[in-house]
Amino acid sequence: METRHPVRAEEELLASIASGDRAAFGELYDRLAGPAYGLALRVLRDPALAEDAVQDAFLSVWRASQRYSARQGSAQAWVLMLVHRRAVDLVRRENRRSAGPLDELTLVGAEDASPDGVERARVRAALAALPERERQALALAYFGGLTQREVSARLGIPLGTVKTRTFAGLARLRDALAEPSRSAAAA
């Protein structure tokens, strides 16, 4: 016969987690991960970001479970509040990253490329000469601070396509910026 363990209240699980009980953490996660993910997905509307929010929130549960107080509400409400806060933080971060239009990103990044005004102009011209798809991938990755995975999500294209466009764009930039040096050396 199978032995059944009594179902522990979530508040009791949090108390056990506070003393380092990994099994209690696993049990709490199993109970609340579904509702937590649903909440994060409603806020973020991006499955990968929702997973990140849930993971970060449960890491906070592990680290801060001793701060939970039943007087503030149920354990489930506390965990979901942590998920909601993390999801809102991620929304704000994504909004900051996508705040500037692509042309502004390109120009800001090009101005930072060199203190020499002539070199800045060369970089700007080389960027402007790139095909739009390559320029867009480079601007978001290098000047916008996005990872290639984030560029993929933002543009709605496969990660492999982002990598190909980035590689091709960098190769074209390298060649375009090397041309004046070659012609000066040949003269």
Give residue-wise pLDDT tens across range 23-69: 999 999 999 999 999 999 998 889 999 999 999 999 999 999 999 88
Q: 112: pLDDT confidence band, cut at 50, 70 and 90?
A: very low
How many C-beta atoms lie closer than 10 Å to residue 71's C-beta?
5
Please give the Cα distance from 184 to 164 (Å, whole number).
Answer: 31
Mean pLDDT value across residues 62-82: 90
Q: 115 is written with which tokens?
A: 């203190």
Eight-state DSSP code of residue 93:
H
Identify the three-state secondary structure at position 171.
helix
Mean pLDDT value across residues 113-142: 78
Residue 36 exposed, middle or buried by CB count within 10 Å (0-12, 13-18, 19+): buried
Question: Which domains does the chain carry?
Answer: 10-97 (1.10.1740.10), 102-186 (1.10.10.10)
> Would the pTM count as exceeding 0.75?
no
pLDDT at 101 over 60: no
pLDDT tens readout for residues 135-172 = 888 888 777 777 888 888 888 899 999 999 998 988 89
- The full length of the chain comes to 187
